[in-house]
Structure 1
């Protein structure tokens, strides 16, 4: 791992997670009897059509408002509360419009009253390709640049549990591949839950793959080779096709 992306402190052991239960929104069930295990120290990828509750699952793990009612349990293998150990990247970049790139990347530390590690922040900003834009505010950045700022911010948090909701969706193909590789490198050893609509992304990054659909949750066996996988490897391409068919309601 590059020292430019190395964490500021030793990583606390990343636990396995589990979410079980039912969720209702506006009196209607969004999912029922869900049992989602998240393995420790690896990437779990959750795919599925829009509207089945993937982002809701992330918000439940993070302890955020969901606008609905959850009847179930969220637990960690070490018995410690989950929400206080999470770094969360939402679909929207949620950048503070009055702060420049450095200010947004270090926002978490500032909100906690901590002195931010500016050297590490600038190194991460360079790694996401924004070294020439550190003084710019969000209004001066493109959508893809804003998403890279948000990615640098979540990587800066150095938490054992990381929740990512479509973190690369606004990026072009080349930048997306580069940011996938960066995130995978920096988040080594963390427990990561990635929500994505992209089968290729899930196969490239995932140690464990799940599809959430209207009729429930399905586990799909990941390729035998470890991530991060080559996009043109035969088993990667075969699994992409299987996931695509599964997302269309055909057997995976």
Structure 2
């Protein structure tokens, strides 16, 4: 399978302060190639742990993760990661930040790759700027361009819009969808925002106390109207699921 397979995944931490044995307990799901998945859940449900496992930053206690039929054992350029804080190198320009991955991989056309991606995320003309001169939304776009620069099979995003103000966040949701459509990447995005998940995702997976309690396909055509009855129906459904977790 070209997408993602998560099989019988368990993860615990030494000294964890939880009323359960595992942070993630027997997690199973699949993601098709080019699918946009949102993982939704409250703090402490295991969302970020799952993303770190998918990225290969940490190892599971039990179980397996496959991305494009390859077993995930460690970090790889085939899995691009975007965090809530953009994490750009402050001593590098926008261009140098985006070039970094392809150069490290020995790509001779790293400059061309970087310039094309900077243009795609709408930052043409900012190539020579440094991160401290960019707005939060602009810096996050550079972070997305940098994650895409190694042409990964899977793009992982951990609350990528969480640190942005409301207006920038709304604009960035549309930017994310535009980038996803253009690149045709498989995307897994972690969020605690129910409207964000419903707006972005093909499918929403809800984590609750380390388990998947819901895996729901969003049957709404894009672009989605956040005020439509169907949108509000999905939002209410996920709210009820999360409220039941109390």
TM-score, normalising length: structure 2: 0.82
Count of residue pairs brought into register by the alignment: 236
Q: Structure 1 stretch 23-32 or stretch 102-111: which is displaced more?
A: 23-32
Q: Structure 1 stretch 226-235 or stretch 120-129: which is displaced more?
A: 120-129
Query: Partner of 1:7 in structure 2?
Result: none
SS at match of 2:12: strand
CA deviation map 1:75-116 (0-9, x unaligned):
24x533345421111223121121011111222101212134
Output the CA distance in 1 between the equivalents of 2:229 and 2:150. 36
Q: Which runs of 5+ in 1 are unaligned?
A: 1-12
Residues 154 and 185 in structure 2, CA contact (< 8 A), matched pair in contact too: yes
Residues 90 and 165 in structure 1, CA contact (< 8 A), matched pair in contact too: yes
Query: Partner of 2:213 in structure 1?
Result: 218
CA deviation map 1:162-205 (0-9, x unaligned):
11111222334443333333332333432211111111111111
Query: Partner of 1:21 in structure 2?
Result: 9
Query: Partner of 1:9 in structure 2?
Result: none
Q: Which runs of 5+ in 2 are unaligned?
A: 17-21
Query: Partner of 1:246 in structure 2?
Result: 241
Q: State the Cα RMSD in Å.
A: 2.7
Offset at residue 250 of structure 1 (A): 6.3
CA deviation map 1:109-158 (0-9, x unaligned):
01212134534533443454433432222233333332221122223333
Query: Partner of 2:53 in structure 1?
Result: 60
Output the CA distance in 2 between the equivalents of 1:183 and 1:43. 10
Residues 184 and 228 in structure 1, CA contact (< 8 A), matched pair in contact too: no
CA deviation map 1:182-233 (0-9, x unaligned):
3323334322111111111111111111111216211243332244523232
Residues 37 and 189 in structure 2, CA contact (< 8 A), matched pair in contact too: yes
